Structures are given as structure tokens and as C-alpha cells.
Amino acid sequence: MEINRIPVARSSMPPFEEFAAEIKSLWNTRWLSNYGEKHNQLQEKLKSYLDASFINLYSNGHQALEAAFQIFPKGSEVITTPFTYASTTQAIVHSGLIPVFCDIEPEFYTLDPLKVETLITEKTVAIAAVHVYGNLCNHDALQYLAKKHGLQLIYDAAHAFGVRKDGHGIGFFGDMIMLSFHATKVFHTFEGGALICKSAALAERTKAWAHFGMYGNEDAEIIGTNAKMNEIQAAMGLCNLRHIESALAIRRACVEHYKKRLQGIEGIHLCSPQLDVIPNGAYMPIQIDPAEFGADREATVQLLERNGISTRKYFYPLTSAFSVYRGLFKTGDTPVAEKTSAQIICLPLYTELTKDQIDTICNSLICIHCGKINTNRPL
């Protein structure tokens, strides 16, 4: 890596001494997994921080999502978005369910509730929506549809840790809510995840699935796997959780600074703030309209790269276009998702990112827009 290269993301780390102190007791207890002290402490703290009714911790976010999808009969349909990370769709498919792709709305890139209802059939069991970049889905509309048709409302909230709406944490909205604590996320446990459930029955079942299908310690009552969070992961979570408010504040300030600098540049779409929502500053997406901006997404990404700025085409391609699914599912009619996926760029964002670095990134974008960086020159 070049010395001055700006990465797109960088894991937040607690002070090393804090982590060392946190894991010290494990050398005495020798209790390293299976719902140990660190796990249980983190579970309790996250339950209240996220406003969860019930919460279980997992080895990673993807396993938490799969835990949720296990409750449905194989072959059932799940209405979902193709504008998401591979995990959401793979969790549905790997659980023996059929993804039915629904379009997103153009402002926040979340599932468009107006397009959900026509996709509901007698085989539909759930709506699986994603709080993309921490932008919250239109929960009231999705909740209404889920209730009306007797569907489970599942959220992939991997991007939404720490987001609050109307005074509620993210765990308040939906029947089952998955969080990812992957190293690159706002809050992490190296790898890890959680599933929040509205009912005790769902919480027990999704917990048993991750413990070989055993509700207790002897008999297996359901088909299951092993997807438990271990004590080292939980210890990292306890440390990172102590620093979460300052991390979120720094991220929000970075996003504000980006927006101040990029506001009004023709051809760059920035997400608006959401009403009554406290955001988490998880990502800095910009959508490039090539005709107005003067360069398309590919050229912009490559020019930034040449200037030492890493970005991510996130989410591209749509999951419905994955080669592994070719011919398996209806790809659906999702023009907004297609357009967004072709135009989106996530800019660098992490807690050590400085205002100067943000200025460098924005100046590069402005130069590309003004043609000062020649987009026709061979790269």
C-alpha cells in the first residue's frame, strides 16, 4: 500500500491495553465459547442499546440471517431487494427459499413498498428488506403490508447499527432484525452478528439452530449448525461498545463535511437526511449521473484510484445478476436498482479520516467534473 493512499474503510480499534485487560480473565476461567461471561455481558448491553425484545449473538452476521430464514418451509418465497450485499440473497437461497426481487426507491435505495404487494403470492412467507447505507426502510408501509398478508418482516440491518428513529433503536422495527459486527462495520467484534427477535419463541428457535439444533444440551429437536459467538469476539465487542458514541459522532461529522463540499455539484446525487432519524454515518454513497457529471462511474472510480483514493462499487452487480443464479429465479423488473447499481460509488469513510483527506477526495471529484482531470486520456 502506498504511504498516502486513502483506503475506503478501516476497522476501528480500541486501545490495545483495553482489549488486553478485557480478555485477561479468560486465561483464568478457560471458558472460551458457549455463552460465556463476555458473551452474556455483550448480549445484555446490546439488548438495551439496540432496543431489542430478544437478541442472540452469532459467529457472523450472515449466520444470523440464515438463522432467521430457517423458520420457513423450503420452497417458500421471500420478497427482497437485489440492491444489497451477496449475504442477504445467499442467506435466502442457502436456506432453501426463493428470492423474489423487488425494486428499490431512488432516494434512499431501500425496498419500494409500492412495488411489494403485486409480488405477493400464496407461497410468500416474508419480506426481507435492507437498511441500505444506514438509510431506514419505509417501515410503516412494509409493516402494514406484512400484517395485512400475514408475512414476517425481516430486516438486514447490517448497515444500521446505532441508527435511531423516533427515539427507538434499530432493534425496535421488524419481526427479526439482523446485525453484522464484521470488521469493516461501524461496530465490530472482528467477525460477528446478532439476530433480534420480537417473540421469545423465535428467539429460542433461532438460538437452537446455531447450537446444533439443541434447545438444551442433549437432544436435537431441529436441524441446526454451529454459529455461536466466542469470548474473544464478545470481548472486542465490549471494548468497541465503550467507544461507539464518539465513533458515530466522528462518522456523522465526516458525512456532513462531505455533503457540504459535494452539495450542488451537477450529476452527484447525495442521500437526503431522513425525517426523525439519527443516522450512524456508516457509508458515504454518491450516485453519478454521467451526462451531468461529465464522467461515468467507471471512469470516476479509476481516476480517483489513480489519485490514491480507494472507493467501492457497492452494490454492484445486483445480486439478481449473480452468475450462480443464472436461469434459477425471475430476475424481476427492477429498473431503479439497475440504474443505481451502475452509478453508485462509496467514498472512503472511517473514524481516522481527516477533514483534509475529505477535502482531497472532494477536490478530485470536482476536478473530474470540471474536466481538469482528462477523462478521455487512456488510464
Q: Applying CB under 6 A, which residues contact ligand PLP?
A: 60-62, 84-85, 87-88, 130, 156, 158-159, 180, 182, 193
Sign of the Cα torsion 333, 337, 341, 343 reads positive
We find the least distance from the C-beta atom of residue 108 to ligand PLP, in angstroms, to be 14
Could you count the other beta carbons within 10 Å of the beta carbon of residue 58? 29
For residues 85 and 350, which CB has a smaller minimum distance to ligand PLP in the complex?
Answer: 85
For residues 179 and 295, which CB has a smaller minimum distance to ligand PLP in the complex?
Answer: 179
We find the least distance from the C-beta atom of residue 251 to ligand PLP, in angstroms, to be 15
Cα 47–Cα 65–Cα 137 angle in degrees, nearest 5: 75
We find the least distance from the C-beta atom of residue 180 to ligand PLP, in angstroms, to be 3
Of all residues in the shown chain, the one whose CB is closest to ligand PLP is 61
Could you tell me which residues come within 8 angstroms of residue 70 by beta carbon, excluding any fewer than 6 positions away?
A: 95, 205, 206, 209, 222, 223
Exposure string over 87-104, b if 16+ CB within 10 A, otherwise e: bbbbbbbebebbbbbbbb
We find the least distance from the C-beta atom of residue 205 to ligand PLP, in angstroms, to be 20
We find the least distance from the C-beta atom of residue 153 to ligand PLP, in angstroms, to be 16
Helical pair 355-369 and 297-306, crossing angle rounded to 10 deg: 130
For residues 62 and 369, which CB has a smaller minimum distance to ligand PLP in the complex?
Answer: 62
Grid coordinates standing for 257? 463535511
Note whether 104 and 111 are within 8 A (CB).
Answer: yes
Q: Return d(Cα 58, Cα 192) in angstroms, integer.
A: 6
We find the least distance from the C-beta atom of residue 145 to ligand PLP, in angstroms, to be 21
Q: Return d(Cα 243, Cα 312) in angstroms, integer.
A: 26
